[in-house]
Amino acid sequence: MMEKADPSPAAIKAWARLMRVSRQLVERAEDALKDGGVPPLAWYDVLHELAEAGEGGLRPFQLIERTLFAQYNISRLLARLEADGLVEKLRVADDGRGQTVRITGKGRETRRRMWAVYGRSIAELVGAKLSNDDLETLSALLGRLRHPAMPE
């Protein structure tokens, strides 16, 4: 028997909105960062995770889990961050294959400057558009679309 799996009109509409709106919001946030003369969103994601992780730092594979970036992407992103002095890589004792990545003072400072811009974008693009209740509802609905194995 044939499996028929056409999405409902409501599903299509929600999907379309999600695709469009998220694309647009990302673009506007990236534009704001560019205008502010700070690095792009991807850098923020990594710096944020590393700042949360504290002095212990994180292994690259942990960053992959948390940020959903591809492995090669993280590898190169970290190389760029290191070249800019925003993170440092430390050999890790108990696993000769790996390393630990830690945010530097300059990294924290850059993150702060980025947040000044990024946070404002979030406030404008989302905070100013929906009430607190609506934001909670939205978060809850989106939460139900997460992949089972997704963090947070």
Partner DNA sequence: TCTATATAGATGCAATTGCATCTACTGTCA
Partner DNA sequence: TGACAGTAGATGCAATTGCATCTATATAGA
DSSP string, 50-65: HHHHGGG-B-HHHHHH
CB 17 within 8 A of CB 28: no
| Closest CB 42 distance from a second copy, rounded Å | 11
Footprint (CB under 7 A) of DNA, residues 86-115: 89, 94-99
- Note the maximum CA span of the chain: 62
CB of 18 or CB of 79, closer to a second copy? 18
| Of residues 29-88, those binding DNA (CB under 7 A) | 34, 42, 59-61, 70-80
79 counts as binding a second copy under rule CB under 8 A: no
Strand partners, 99: 91
Contact 107, 38 (CB under 8 A): no
Q: Choose the stretch contacting a second copy; rule: CB under 8 A; options: 15-23, 30-38, 49-57, 74-82.
A: 15-23
* Touching a second copy, residues 51-70 (CB under 8 A): 68
Residue 109 in contact with a second copy, rule: CB under 8 A: no
Asked if residues 45 and 67 have their Cβ atoms less than 8 Å apart, the reply is yes
